[in-house]
Structure 1
Amino acid sequence: MSKRIFTIVALVAVFVLGVIITRWFYRAEQKEIIESQSTILLDKVRDVMKLVTVEANFNELYNETRTRPVTLYLPLPSTFNFDKKAILEVRGKVLVGYDLEAVKITADSTDRVLRLSNLPEPEILSIDHQVAFRNLEESWFNSFTAEDYTSLSANAKEVLRKKVIESQLLDRARDQGNRMIDVIRFMAESAGWTVELEPGIGEELKVQIDSILR
């Protein structure tokens, strides 16, 4: 009797173990399989001389609506507008400063004069932005495509560029550049040299440099 009970218990244990193993394999087969492949292409490397004087962080919501008119014949021709709307959260870091590649520096050791020419105006050096899609609404005959997502990201970056131009960041970068020139003049005069500035861009820059030299 006990042998029969042991046999039944063993069969039940084997059955339960088989069910557990089967379910485990079934779940393993249902897991998402992710395959990725990347190709890194190094296009161009070149030396640059850029001076960052202002760094700004932006965080804003960007809304865009695109309308597609569609003419239907029911049986008379009627035009309907189908919209698709996107709300994006844009986080960006903007670097403003100077591209110093065209600046020329010459030293006259006889007269102990340091000449700086082709001084640039401040500009936007880089815009690093990240986009998070907060809401997407589509309609019939007007849905989002891969090209739309690319253009939305590009438009959001352009909005950041316009924000920088409308703000005082370029003026602030110009002030920082003038302070840098003051430091150069101080160091040169401490060593018995004289600094002469020869602007190459803009009448406004000439006025600023003249005020520095006074």
Structure 2
Amino acid sequence: MEMSTLLFFILSVFLGGAFGAGAYYFWSGRHKLKSEPQREATVLLERIEKVFKVVMAEGYFTEIYNYQHDKNFWNLIKDKKKALVIAKAKVLVGYDFGKLRFHVEGNSKKIVIDYFPEPEVLSMDTDYKFYDIEQGWLNRFQSDDYTSILNEAKQTMNEKALQSDLPRIATNQVQLMMFQLAATMNWKIDMQLPETNKNVIEEYSSYKPVEAGIESLNRKTEE
């Protein structure tokens, strides 16, 4: 009888331990499935530079970029991939005064500008979204493809920004600021620029004529 009781006790302990271990692994497994992914980021400051850049104009752009790549395998299989990218960008245009060249004539309180830089895109804050992504069995998107698409879309946005009115607005704004600031201190600014540099700045400073005039509108109305 005592032997049966001892055997029953040992069996109960063994089953209880097995049940407890099983319950532990079950709940720990569920906990691992529900756990949040671990994230770790390392930020390294490479260098600090002193700059004198002034933003003079701000523009908002939306670009619809269609990408398609057709690939021919051994002249037997044609496979293509394509994607639609909608890009939004906030573009800041201004001047890098580190490129400005001038000298000061203190006796006459005059600042002589020897070279005036062109307006440039100082910053571009972009947001991209991919739509209608299609890819074949063999011709599939790789990580390099997405990087290339984003670089091309950003380059196109940069070109469109420089072709817009932002450089003209920035040029007029910076000249107004410089002349007003000099006037408040009883100084004068003399733009003695090389001919090529002068022509470029004048091109940016001048307002573009509107193509649609009143006469043309009246002529279209009569027709």
Specify if TM > 0.5.
yes
Alignment match of 1:149 (pick from 146, 151, 161): 146
Match of 2:10 in 1: none
Q: Secondary structure at the match of 1:199?
A: coil
Residue 114 (structure 2) pairs with residue 114 (structure 1): no
Q: Is the 8 A contact 2:171 2:204 kept in 1?
A: no
Alignment match of 1:197 (pick from 191, 195, 204): 191
| Residue segments in structure 1 that go unaligned for 5+ positions in a row | 1-17, 72-77, 210-214
Task: State the AA in 2 paired with 1:203.
Answer: N
Q: Is the 8 A contact 2:63 2:157 kept in 1?
A: no
Post-superposition offset of 1:33: 4.5
Match of 1:13 in 2: none
> Over aligned residue pairs, what C-alpha RMSD do you find?
2.8
Task: State the AA in 1 paired with 2:52.
Answer: M
Q: Is the 8 A contact 1:57 1:91 kept in 2?
A: yes
Match of 2:158 in 1: 161
Q: Secondary structure at the match of 2:68?
A: strand
Residues 127-160 of structure 1: CA distance to partner in whole angstroms, max 9, x if unpaired? Answer: 2212122231110210111111111111111121
Task: State the AA in 1 paired with 2:120.
Answer: E
Task: State the AA in 1 paired with 2:37.
Answer: I
Post-superposition offset of 1:88: 1.6
Structure 2 vs 1, CA of residues 207 and 88 (structure 1 numbering), >3 Å: closer, same or farther? closer
Q: Is the 8 A contact 1:119 1:198 kept in 2?
A: no
Task: State the AA in 2 paired with 1:135.
Answer: D
Residue 190 (structure 2) pairs with residue 187 (structure 1): no
Q: How far apart, in 1, do the equivalents of 2:25 and 2:47 lie?
A: 54
Q: How far apart, in 2, do the equivalents of 1:42 and 1:22 lie?
A: 44
Alignment match of 1:69 (pick from 72, 80, 90): 72
Task: State the AA in 2 paired with 1:204.
Answer: V
Q: How far apart, in 1, do the equivalents of 2:203 and 2:155 lie?
A: 31
Aligned length: 183
Post-superposition offset of 1:84: 0.7
Structure 2 vs 1, CA of residues 54 and 60 (structure 1 numbering), >3 Å: closer, same or farther? same
- When normalised by structure 2's length, the TM-score is 0.70
Match of 1:41 in 2: 44
Q: Is the 8 A contact 1:85 1:136 kept in 2?
A: yes
Task: State the AA in 2 paired with 1:92.
Answer: A
Q: How far apart, in 2, do the equivalents of 1:66 and 1:208 lie?
A: 38
Residue 33 (structure 2) pairs with residue 30 (structure 1): yes
**Percent of pairs with identical residues:** 27
Task: State the AA in 1 paired with 2:201.
Answer: L
Residue 92 (structure 2) pairs with residue 98 (structure 1): no
Q: How far apart, in 1, do the equivalents of 2:90 and 2:120 lie?
A: 14
Q: How far apart, in 2, do the equivalents of 1:69 and 1:31 lie?
A: 45
- When normalised by structure 1's length, the TM-score is 0.73
Q: How far apart, in 2, do the equivalents of 1:86 and 1:127 lie?
A: 23
- Between Structure 1 and Structure 2, which shows a larger proportion of helix residues? 2
Match of 2:131 in 1: 134
Task: State the AA in 1 paired with 2:191.
Answer: L
Q: How far apart, in 2, do the equivalents of 1:79 and 1:185 lie?
A: 72
